[in-house]
Structure 1
């Protein structure tokens, strides 16, 4: 792939620098959160930190850079989008087959959500997030003039069915957090595409009310046939963490302890107590607990502030984009980062059930790093092409 040198002149450093800082912080914190437990178990303390560094480098070279350097007309082509969507659906179908054939043999934390290739485990859900964004952006851009009252369902019935089919493949893993993220992508893109926002919000609140009502009913009912379900135990841990402190509530309770121990300024990088066998897998979805303990609430807030600044900047690119496809891609990438941050922090502080959703750019994981980096590359590509178009227009005038 030939580098487009002119495009680098329009590189958006207000997006690139926060992304790089967050990834570096993530590598450092993955190392800090995992090193002690690795040493205790006879492994090198750099295993997970080193892998996260490799994931970052591979993501930038093989996904972020191509996503930035490829012309947007190629990315928005039906051939590329449908190929990408087809691959993501195929991988989700492989997971379904694994669940039917192997069941518990392939399950990780109660869900069959990963395809183990030996050197890396692929999470098809992550691939499906970006595929769904590109597919819906293409459809909504193409049918923008038809999204009027009385014609909405006719125009969007097929993409809506496809989107919910993908969600169905994810929820049977079962992965409720991933399904919720896909749902939010659909709702946000529909809301900003020209469909009346009130209508989309009505759909969203009706479904949200049904989910909350169903979850509350299940917790109160406490049926015997669900007692051995990993997901049900997580719901009970959310509702009664201290009553289940010795079992399913241990992760949330120890998260509280970590946040409390850190106070405002933290106990210092590397000095966390909760990562030493008390908080299970602290380098994954509960890494913010370790950040809060070691860097304090101020350090945690600075990281969250950087995440929200990155989201704001991506949204700004989307708002000023001249192409609706470009705008929808920016809004979709923002939705991924925002929803994952919301679910992760909500779980860490006990405001939401634990769903295993990782903290963007910070938590350990290759699939998440790859897809988020590709998303950032696309946004940088859009920003550069929009800036170049404006400069060309001004020069003509």
Structure 2
């Protein structure tokens, strides 16, 4: 282990060690006044965020300490996938039998001992590991041209997980699972003509679905069946935020105000106006708007640069490691981080519909923070493995 710690990838470690404390500070800043106004402890969400960060760091250390080949062993991958399926199925059942348990129109969390677990966060990593496991073991089948034989199992798993996420309903989570699947198919070795066909087909289906939701009436059968009225309001508010400010557009409108108030250098830490009852739950998926108001464009840029370094490093490690399964894991994790940042920033700028996707390492949310840190541990493990491979190659040559 001592030798392995000497191979730590500081391009991953340093950004994470900067982002996690900054995230905790911003969670406290965004939530403390709101909690105090309702008579709760101002440090409630800060303490939870710190607890989740500690758990996540332990998880990252454990993931880093594992032998790299464990990450694509059958038992490890199937255990993670089975646990994810069980938890996702529980949420679907809760959605059917206890619709009153919905929060913001969705049943996406399981409460255990005062803490909540969001299984869709586990599903992202489980899907990445499963795709890497399948495609890594079936490279010879891909080379032989039997593409659909290799594609069928992971696509079935991906569709089931996306379906269960959509039934919660968590459109953001389902979209992230979709994009992770598409990227991993594209880099698996399957010819681009097949990949583009799959991507084009799924994109067309998604576009038709979005247009249907945007134009559907409140009495449409699909909305009644899956109780998607809240999601419909979000789609409409995306198109007309100011006209529908009282019907789902308030978050986006106040996000604009927060960003405008901040300017280049911000109003100062703790001095946000929009977090004081204007921007709902500002410590979650709209926390970057509060960062913009308090720390300005400069503060937002620093955060996005640090996240960009992590994303680019993920892909670079994937290009350097010679083991196919490990390379695919890196591409999958890099895609997961990129899509989350893209959806979060696009939502608060009004470029995309609001999907409730949190900003990695910054937003309040235990499941996302823990899974993100475990993913960093996996990347650092693979990076160390790649460095060891390169050193052995030099010795042999």
**Which category of TM-score, normalised to the shorter sequence, fits these structures?**
over 0.9
User: CA-to-partner distance for each residue in 1:230-274, whole Å, 9 max, x for gaps?
Assistant: 111111111111111123111110001001111111111110000
Matched, 1:129 2:120: no
**Equivalent residues of 2:132, 2:329 under 8 A apart:** yes
Give how far 1:223 is off.
4.0
In the alignment, which residue of structure 2 is the partner of 1:69? 65
In the alignment, which residue of structure 2 is the partner of 1:230? 230
Q: Distance in 2 between matches of 1:305 and 1:40?
A: 34
User: CA-to-partner distance for each residue in 1:88-112, whole Å, 9 max, x for gaps?
Assistant: 00111111111122122x2111111
The alignment of Structure 1 onto Structure 2 pairs a total of residues equal to 392
Which segments of 5 or more consecutive residues in structure 2 lack a partner in the other structure?
A: none
In the alignment, which residue of structure 2 is the partner of 1:43? 40
In the alignment, which residue of structure 2 is the partner of 1:257? 257
| Structure-to-structure mapping, 1:1-397, within 5 angstroms | 4-61=1-58, 63-104=59-100, 106-148=101-143, 151-225=146-220, 226=223, 229-397=229-397
TM-score by length of 1: 0.95
TM-score by length of 2: 0.95
Give how far 1:74 is off.
2.1
Give how far 1:221 is off.
4.2
User: CA-to-partner distance for each residue in 1:350-383, whole Å, 9 max, x for gaps?
Assistant: 0111110001111001100111111100000011
Give how far 1:145 is off.
2.1
Give how far 1:202 is off.
3.1
Q: Distance in 1 between matches of 2:156 and 2:368?
A: 25
**Equivalent residues of 2:135, 2:150 under 8 A apart:** no
Q: Distance in 2 between matches of 1:78 and 1:150?
A: 24
Q: Distance in 1 between matches of 2:170 and 2:344?
A: 14
Give how far 1:144 is off.
1.2
Question: More deviation in 319-328 or 221-230?
Answer: 221-230
User: CA-to-partner distance for each residue in 1:147-178, whole Å, 9 max, x for gaps?
Assistant: 25852112221221122111111111111110
Give how far 1:13 is off.
0.7
